[in-house]
């Protein structure tokens, strides 16, 4: 006989996999959600249990994302059609080449 905790753990893992998949679909519109020029200096790194981790090319861009955090979370949740999918956004500065304007 299996323990309830074993069954619940498996069910919760499956739920998080589905949530992560929905988050990845929503993030396909990342450039549109951020808008220019911010989308040229930031990229999503990972989604984990409602938290989106974002990398920015510099501290000024990271700060701009932090200022717009609530708006960005609302846009992401609207795009995902789930008001509780994205709960928090954390930004770090990483050294990666900024995208060029087209």
Return the domain boundaries, the chain. Answer: 4-93
**10-residue mean pLDDT series, the chain (102 residues):** 53 77 95 94 95 96 97 97 96 82 60
| 53-79 pLDDT, tens digit each | 999 999 999 999 999 999 999 999 999
Write down the residue that tokens 């200022």 correspond to.
67
> Beta-strand (E) ranges in the chain?
42-48, 51-56, 88-93
Question: 25-56 b/e with 16+ CB inside 10 Å = b?
Answer: ebbeebeebbeeebbbbbbbeebeeeebebbb
* pLDDT for the residue numbered 17: 87
Write down the residue that tokens 């040229």 correspond to.
40
**Which CATH number is 4-93 given?**
3.30.300.180
């Amino acid at each position: 006989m299996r323990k309830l905790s074993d069954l619940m753990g498996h069910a919760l893992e499956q739920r998080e996999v589905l949530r992560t998949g929905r988050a990845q679909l929503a993030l396909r519109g990342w450039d549109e959600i951020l808008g220019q020029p911010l989308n040229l200096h930031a990229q999503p790194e990972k989604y984990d249990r409602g938290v989106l981790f974002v990398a920015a090319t510099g501290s000024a861009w990271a700060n701009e994302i932090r200022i717009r955090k609530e708006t960005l979370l609302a846009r992401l949740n609207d795009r995902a059609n789930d008001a509780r999918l994205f709960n928090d956004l954390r930004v770090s500065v990483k050294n990666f080449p900024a995208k060029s304007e087209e």
